[in-house]
Amino acid sequence: MNKYADIHIDNVKLSEDEKAVVIIDQSKLPGETVYLTLKSNTELWDAIYTLKVRGAPAIGIFAAYAMYVLAAASLKDTGNNFEEFYDNFKRNKNYINSSRPTAVNLSKMLDRMENVVVAEKGQPLFVIVEKLKEEAKKIQEDDVKMCRAISEYGLSLVKDGDGILTHCNAGQLATSKYGTGLGPFFLGIERGIRLKAWVDETRPLLQGARLTAYELNKVGVECTLICDNMASIVMKEGKIDACFVGCDRVAANGDTANKIGTSGVAVLAKYYGIPFYVFCPSETIDFNCRSGSDIEIEKRPDAEIKRAFFAEPIAPDDVKCYNPAFDVTDSELITAIVTERGICYPPYGKSLKELFYKE
């Protein structure tokens, strides 16, 4: 029996007729539970860009299903012409890949789908399309297993009653089940280990307030919401025993890109002597990036700072803004990187390579 505390949300799946990808619209949570059925390449691109589907692993899973749906739809135009089919596949792949640059899961899962097309060349196109569907499902199943293992390792780092500060949302909504940084909270419930969550609201798009608080509340985790600028005081007051965060791309040396504000939490944690843990499925490690300076940081529109989630604009319309969606936490601020294969400690150049690198 699976005793995991599950919030029972299918955040990414295929529609019943398998012609579309169905998602829960995360941009509307927690106020409204709206499911979207997406078919066209522009709808699929927009869902990622506007964070209707978000979180590095969930974006990768979504992109894989998107490629299947688009490939299946292209069959009627390409007959049995492989070159035409493959050209169309690559065009859609590049387009979907352009939706968000920082989370490596997107391009990695798109590559995994392209590998299927290349490997199956010579088969009838409908067979290739079936294989694409199988691969997308496998990507999702792999994610569930990775998250489960990461949650186990994460739970081994803490004890009953500990206060854990989280930033952004690295939960079930950001993956396909369990989550990474939030996984130990769900697993803890089933094991009688009650962790207390301190949830950064996560300006400007409020993934902490809207999504993490929603997920944890739903399964009865004790959860306290704070504004991002309150992290220092709760650490100083002794309420925080560890920080758990997810990641969007981890460089070979352990430098970690995650939601904007993460590096500030890490600096504070170092100052107050609190362990800072990054939860990282292997899909999020990018050995092609030697360090954080190789990671592209997405810049997003000013309106997210000035207007999003406020009834009225909160700043003069013409004031200049700077809105990087992610920042890089230097590896020296990270106590450990928790993966599905085990917990890596510094120096990460060595420990990550030992666990994962395949020549």
Q: Determine phi and psi for 79, rounding to 5 degrees.
A: 55, -125
Q: Please check whether residue 63 is in contact with residue 96, taking contact to mean a CB–CB distance below 8 angstroms.
A: yes
**Residues forming the active site:** 248
**What tokens appear for 279 in the block?**
């939860």
Looking at 5-13, 173-181, 189-197, 285-293, which segment touches ligand MRU (CB under 6 A)? 173-181
| Binding test (CB under 6 A) with ligand MRU, winner from 66, 106, 116, 174 | 174
**What tokens appear for 213 in the block?**
């608080």
- Which is nearer to ligand MRU, 258 or 335 (by Cβ)? 258
| Binding test (CB under 6 A) with ligand MRU, winner from 24, 129, 155, 170 | 170
Q: Please check whether residue 284 is in contact with residue 248, taking contact to mean a CB–CB distance below 8 angstroms.
A: yes
**What tokens appear for 99 in the block?**
């939706």
Q: With binding defined as CB under 6 A, does residue 103 bind ligand MRU?
A: yes
**What tokens appear for 339 in the block?**
């993966």
* Interface with ligand MRU in residues 40-59 (CB under 6 A): 51, 54-57
Q: Tokens 């927690």 appear where?
A: 30
DSSP letter at 312 equals S
- Which is nearer to ligand MRU, 45 or 85 (by Cβ)? 45
Q: With binding defined as CB under 6 A, does residue 20 bind ligand MRU?
A: no
H or E element at residue 353? helix 348-356
Q: How many helices (H) and strands (E) does the chain have?
A: 12, 14
Looking at 2-10, 31-39, 169-177, 336-344, which segment touches ligand MRU (CB under 6 A)? 169-177
Shortest spacing between CB 56 and ligand MRU, in angstroms: 4
Shortest spacing between CB 204 and ligand MRU, in angstroms: 10
Q: How far apart are CA 44 and CA 268, in angstroms?
A: 38
Q: With binding defined as CB under 6 A, does residue 240 bind ligand MRU?
A: no
Looking at 74-82, 170-178, 287-295, 333-341, which segment touches ligand MRU (CB under 6 A)? 170-178
| Per-residue CA distances from 133 to 113, 140, 299 (Å) | 9, 11, 33
Q: With binding defined as CB under 6 A, does residue 280 bind ligand MRU?
A: no
Residues making contact with ligand MRU (CB under 6 A): 51, 54-57, 103, 168, 170, 174-175, 180, 207, 246-248, 258-259, 325
